Amino acid sequence: MALAKTIASVYDRATELKSFDQTKSGVQGLIDAGIKQVPRIFFINQSKSIRKTSNSLELPVVDLGSTDRALTIEKIRMASENMGFFQVVNHGIPLSVMNEALQGVRRFHEQDVEIKKRFYTRDASRPVVYNSNFDLYTSPTANWRDTFFSFMAPSPPPPEELPEVCRDIQIEYSNQVLKLGGLLFRLISEALGLKPSYLGDLDCDKGLAFFGHCYPACPQPDLTMGTTKHTDTGFLTVLLQDDIGGLQILHQNQWVDVPPTPGALVINIGDLLQMMSNDKLKSVEHRVVANEKGSRVSVACFFSNSLAPLTKLYGPIKELVSDENPPRYRETTVHDYMQYSLSTALDGAPRLLHLKL
Ligand code: OGA
Ligand code: NI
């Protein structure tokens, strides 16, 4: 009996996932259809549902406009070693550009569904990939989130292939983030005790992917999750969130809220930088909880360089290893690590274990 029941529910799930996918309109499509209950494909495992937290944490704020470069580097070093996350202000990206980036992502997700559907795909080689849950068929639970993304550097798609409702701001915002990345990688190089151009010379700041997330308001937010816990796979992430909130990071074994700070950008260390720093800098787990308040949008820009020459190998940086601190990871191409990450679901074993020596 029990077995038959298990098989039946597994079968149902596969069918339900497929019919959800085939709507090509994501979670937003469910809301548009007026659903009042969260479908079960989105349910989180109850044992993991202890998700409300009263802990909120002021992430270290790094003022990039400061003239005290040594202090800036020290703050970045401490935050990257201890929390894996920090915020930046006076980062050079105008508030108007940030707001327009969020508005552009909102316009994409709220546009006419027939136009939006044309971008719906699971083929990552397309210039724009829009879908709900990249790991829909491999993850134990679907997330309450829709996403579109494009690789914007080093070789962006022709502008006319980007979504009309947001292409201008995608290009403008990505260019601004690339410039900011140049500065951040110089500061992080120095925080590691390396010359400022070290990480840039390795092309860490050259590849950028633009992800526009939408977390529609959820009628039963305790039953599901906006983004399941994960680490980011690239070198570094620049996150722009709107004022709704919901981002949490795992700090000292506790989930803590990262409340939005107007005008600030959230920066976090990715797996590849943790690996290259031989675990000095931390790629920290984070997630996004679903909310009832309203539809939340965010822009996550990943420095990941996946279109760079495929043969270039990245491993623990020679200057950072020694007899006492031997390399903990084997070398990889960015492409191989990205492919591996894409093939795993969020919430699995830490993906960096894949490279562990
Ligand atoms: C991500 C991510 C957080 C957010 O895209 O990897 O963690 O607030 N996003 O959307
Ligand atoms: Ni992330």
Rounded distance, CA 306 to CA 335, Å?
A: 5
Atom of ligand 1 nearest to the CA of 232: 6
Atom of ligand 1 nearest to the CA of 215: 10
User: What residues form DSSP beta bridges with 148?
Assistant: 130, 212
Phi, psi of 124 (to 5 degrees): -70, -5
**pLDDT score of 307:** 57
- Residue 255 backbone zone (phi > 0: left; psi -120 to 50: alpha; other: beta): beta
Residue 190's pLDDT band (boundaries 50, 70, 90)? Answer: very high
Tell me the one-letter amino acid at 27.
V
Rounded distance, CA 130 to CA 16, Å?
A: 19
Structure tokens at 106: 């909102």
Least distant ligand from the CA of 227? 1
The H or E element spanning position 337 is helix 334-342
Residue 323's pLDDT band (boundaries 50, 70, 90)? Answer: very high
Region 231-258 average pLDDT: 94
Residue nearest to atom 2 of ligand 1 (CA): 300
What's 329's DSSP letter? B
CA-nearest of 283, 226, 231, 286 to 256 is 286
Is residue 341 scored above 90 in pLDDT?
A: no
Is residue 263 scored above 80 in pLDDT?
A: yes
Residue nearest to atom 9 of ligand 1 (CA): 300
Is residue 47 scored above 80 in pLDDT?
A: no
Around ligand 1, the residues with Cβ closer than 6 Å are 211, 213, 227, 232, 239, 241, 247, 286, 288, 298, 300
What's 347's DSSP letter? T
Q: Which residues surround ligand 2, an ion (CB under 5 A)?
A: 232
Q: Ligand 1 centroid vs 247 CA: distance in angstroms?
A: 8
Least distant ligand from the CA of 300? 1
Residue 354's pLDDT band (boundaries 50, 70, 90)? Answer: very high
Q: Ligand 1 centroid vs 67 CA: distance in angstroms?
A: 31
Is residue 268 scored above 80 in pLDDT?
A: yes
What is each CA distance from 268 to 8, 93, 323, 348, in whole angstroms? 42, 17, 29, 20
Residue 118's pLDDT band (boundaries 50, 70, 90)? Answer: very high
Decide: helix, strand or coil at residue 342.
Answer: helix
Where do the domains of the chain lie?
Answer: 2-355
Region 223-251 average pLDDT: 95
Domain 2-355 CATH class label? mainly beta
pTM above 0.85, yes or no: yes
Atom of ligand 1 nearest to the CA of 287: 7
Residue 74's pLDDT band (boundaries 50, 70, 90)? Answer: very high
Residue nearest to atom 1 of ligand 1 (CA): 300
